[in-house]
Amino acid sequence: MTTSLLLDSHPLLTGAVADSALLAAYNGEAPSHRPVWFMRQAGRSLPEYRETRAGIDMLDACLTPELAAEITLQPVRRYGVDAAIFFSDIVVPLRLAGMDVSIEPGIGPVFAKPVRTMADVDALPAIDDAFIRALAPIAQAIALTTAQLGSTPLIGFAGAPFTLAAYMVEGRASRDHLGARRLMASAPHVWAGLAAWVAEVSGWFLRTQVLAGASAVQLFDSWAGSLSADEYSRWCLPTSARVFELVADLDVPRIHFAANGAHLLAPMSEAGGTVMGVDYRLPLDEANVELGLQVPLQGNINPAYLSAPWESLSSHVDDVLARGADAPGHVVNLGHGVPPDTDPDVLQRIVEHVHEHG
């Protein structure tokens, strides 16, 4: 591991996370137990989160270090999961880069000015030292979080270039991301310029989190599932690879996940991730074979089962455990994020079940 760039207080250097089951599984080693955490575990499903964030804008919460740290820690305290995932939003680095973006309730990210022409791309803010300095609240939040996590590692988080660029083209969320896909086809040079800019933003966002104390990172692609494998390879793979390149010298586990992206597993695995997240549509044993039995996996409980009777849910969890057992490493997670109406007691029961039976 390249350690010369990390602070002496980094959990990977102090030995705080040396016995982490999560990091062992990510590194293809034998963990003490099957580790588990949940995408979106810090968020709307927790009553303490709703109380903490009452009356506070989402992006303001993400950019207030003390608040972001507290929200990140809440599910670790409640569930005893094997990892914390940094509380943030994929558009946070875009806001810090100078984009006029907000998160509107019931809508999602909204950009004041969509990016659809080469002139729009050329007018994007420079990704320079000023941007790196603007990431200071993120580093502060990470430091506050890791100081309280003890032996539990923190996972850094960023949105993948396709998802962020698709939002920027549409100006807001879209059901089919047709605007982004049209731009790829009609003005490929514009798409390439935009995606390359976004890759720098996300890559430096992740790098900041690792340098400040994160022990692993996850690149989350919400909307890449709308693409064919060929489209992904041509238009997304190079820029996702650039994101991972910006943290590769730090040599932490790099998780790559795309919602609805089971058909993209092979090209995504070429982007530079060292762990592949698998959505709930593809059984883990099949994913393991597709990846040549060489790549640690993360996933893939179907979120729909979280509201099922325990007998049905526990049987499903056991099936996930069995199918993931032969992978080089397996971290239990959902095949997507925690739905906001999830009963926290159900997640607690899953954690206990995985730790006992995994």
In a domain, 300, yes or no: yes
* Amino acid identity for residue 10 in this structure: H
Residue tagged active-site, from 26, 79, 167, 305: 167
Strands 101-104 and 108-111: antiparallel
Of 102, 213, 220, 200, the residue nearest 158 (C-alpha): 220
In a domain, 5, yes or no: no
Task: Determine whether 281 is an active site residue.
Answer: no
In a domain, 3, yes or no: no
In a domain, 156, yes or no: yes
pLDDT at position 180, please?
94
Helix (H, G, I), strand (E, B) or coil at 13: helix
Residue tagged active-site, from 82, 89, 221, 279: 89
In a domain, 131, yes or no: yes
pLDDT at position 1, please?
44
Task: Determine whether 167 is an active site residue.
Answer: yes
CA 73/CA 217 separation, integer angstroms: 17
pLDDT at position 157, please?
95
What is the radius of gyration, based on Cα positions, of the chain? 19
What does the pLDDT profile of the chain (358 residues) look like in tens digits?
445 689 899 999 999 999 999 999 999 999 999 999 999 999 999 999 999 999 999 999 999 999 999 999 999 999 999 999 999 999 999 999 999 999 998 889 999 999 999 999 999 999 999 999 999 999 999 999 999 999 999 999 999 999 999 999 999 888 788 999 999 999 999 999 999 999 999 999 999 999 999 999 999 999 999 999 999 999 999 999 999 999 999 989 999 999 999 999 999 999 999 999 999 999 999 999 999 999 999 999 999 999 999 999 999 999 999 999 999 999 999 999 999 999 999 999 999 999 999 8
Task: Determine whether 207 is an active site residue.
Answer: no
**Which domain, by its residues, includes 309?**
11-357
CA 230/CA 232 separation, integer angstroms: 5
Residue tagged active-site, from 34, 40, 116, 254: 40
In a domain, 183, yes or no: yes
Residue tagged active-site, from 26, 34, 49, 53: 53
Strands 84-85 and 154-159: parallel
- Give the CATH number, domain containing residue 293: 3.20.20.210
pLDDT at position 3, please?
54
Instruction: Please give the backbone phi and psi of residue 275, each rounded to the nearest 5 degrees, phi first.
Output: -135, 135
Task: Determine whether 44 is an active site residue.
Answer: yes
Supply 352's token pair: 């206990």
Residue tagged active-site, from 44, 172, 281, 349: 44
Supply 238's token pair: 């190079």
In a domain, 64, yes or no: yes
In a domain, 207, yes or no: yes
Supply 237's token pair: 């793979």
Question: Based on the structure, what is the number of domains in the chain?
Answer: 1
Task: Determine whether 53 is an active site residue.
Answer: yes
